[in-house]
Structure 1
């Protein structure tokens, strides 16, 4: 083995050891296979492939983690609210695992510091925080099993953040609220959404919301849905007193 290869392998071992210790502090248990967690923090922009040519990034783990998170939350709500109807339980689960909430969780855990990406962190968008949080859950499941996942979700999601009474009053879709209000009040509304990337690497969208011919608010984000929600939230607060009285 030549000197260069020895230096590279030594550096890699140091990185793996550092990630192991950081994760051990974060998870409160020792990871078995560190490569699963490394994959959970690998962005597709790195364009890594395994020996079979399959992409190495967090997207498949994100899918897995999303499903496990949903099942743990569903089980918790089923036991916590025995009188809850199917519709109520579905709505409450949606509030807990909303993209906005998952992004907050990822930020609170500072998972972005582990991410390997070829895109500047300022340009990857807020959703990456929630995406890697779900990918981390997927990695925990593969590495340690369902019980460890359940414990991690209870400690990091349910215990610190889930308050049933508060969640019952939380708005999950400002766009839905605005559309419903306009329809009830027979107001004409228009969501004018268009691509607005400019010179930025990551695609952005802008939206203008007009009510009865008057432009009320604007929003701009990395997805149409998020831009519409941002603008709708501004409309909601502009008409909050009227909407609340409705």
Structure 2
């Protein structure tokens, strides 16, 4: 073996050792196949392919992890909330696996430090944190199976964050709340964009929410969806007494 190859081999071995230790600390158990976890943090911009010519990136593992997470949370709620019907259980699961919550989990574990990408990290949106959290769960399933997935989710999601009584009162979408109320009360609602500008290179949307032709709230955000949610939240607090009335 040439000197260059020896140095390169030692360097790769050292990198793998550092990565192994970091992943083991997050998981709470030792990985068996480190490649699964490397794939969980590989961005599509690298254009990596397997020996069979299939793309290697975190997106397929994200799909798998999403299914595993939903399965474990569903089983937990089924046991811990015996009073809940299907609708209740579905809503509670949605609150636990909401995009906002998954993003927080990914941030808490600082998973973005492991991302390999040609795209600068600061160009990623907020959802990258939740996406790679799900891909990590997918990697666990590939590496160690369902039982280890369940163990990880119990440790990192359920034990520190899931409080059923607290979650019952948590609103995950003010827009859905406003729309449901308007439909129930037979009110006409409308979200319209009154502003679409780029300020300092960042695009901003202004959204206005009207109910029965009366403007109830306005909001600005970096996407139409976020602006609608923010306007809905403001509308909810403006109409809370009426909306909470039984």
TM-score interval, normalised by the smaller of the two chains:
0.7 to 0.9
Superposition deviation, residue 179 in structure 1: 2.0
Q: 1:197 to 1:97 in 2, by over 3 A?
A: farther
Superposition deviation, residue 134 in structure 1: 0.6
Secondary structure of 1:206 counterpart: strand
1:60 aligns with 2:63: no
1:86 is matched with 86
Cα distance per residue 1:102-141 (max 9 Å; x no partner) = 1111111111111112222222111111111110001011
1 CA distance for matches of 2:245 and 2:178? 14
Q: 1:41 to 1:231 in 2, by over 3 A?
A: farther
1 CA distance for matches of 2:127 and 2:179? 25
The 5-angstrom pairing of residues 154-233 of structure 1 reads 154-183=154-183, 188-192=188-192, 198=198, 206-211=205-210, 212=213, 214=215, 216-221=217-222, 224-233=224-233
Secondary structure of 1:35 counterpart: helix
The 5-angstrom pairing of residues 104-119 of structure 1 reads 104-119=104-119
Bigger shift: 59-68 or 12-21?
Answer: 12-21
2 CA distance for matches of 1:142 and 1:195? 46
Bigger shift: 205-214 or 70-79?
Answer: 205-214
Q: 1:88 to 1:187 in 2, by over 3 A?
A: closer
1 CA distance for matches of 2:42 and 2:197? 24
2 CA distance for matches of 1:158 and 1:148? 14
Cα distance per residue 1:85-117 (max 9 Å; x no partner) = 111111111111111111111111111111112
The 5-angstrom pairing of residues 107-146 of structure 1 reads 107-146=107-146
1 CA distance for matches of 2:235 and 2:11? 52
Q: 1:234 to 1:110 in 2, by over 3 A?
A: farther
Secondary structure of 1:59 counterpart: helix
2:153 is matched with 153
On the 8 A contact 1:193/1:205 being kept in 2, the answer is: no
Alignment RMSD:
2.8
When normalised by structure 1's length, the TM-score is 0.86
On the 8 A contact 1:39/1:58 being kept in 2, the answer is: yes
1:235 is matched with 235
Q: 1:180 to 1:165 in 2, by over 3 A?
A: same
Secondary structure of 2:142 counterpart: helix
2 CA distance for matches of 1:156 and 1:58? 20
Structure 1: gaps of 5 or more residues: none
2:46 is matched with 46
Q: Aligned pairs, how many? A: 244
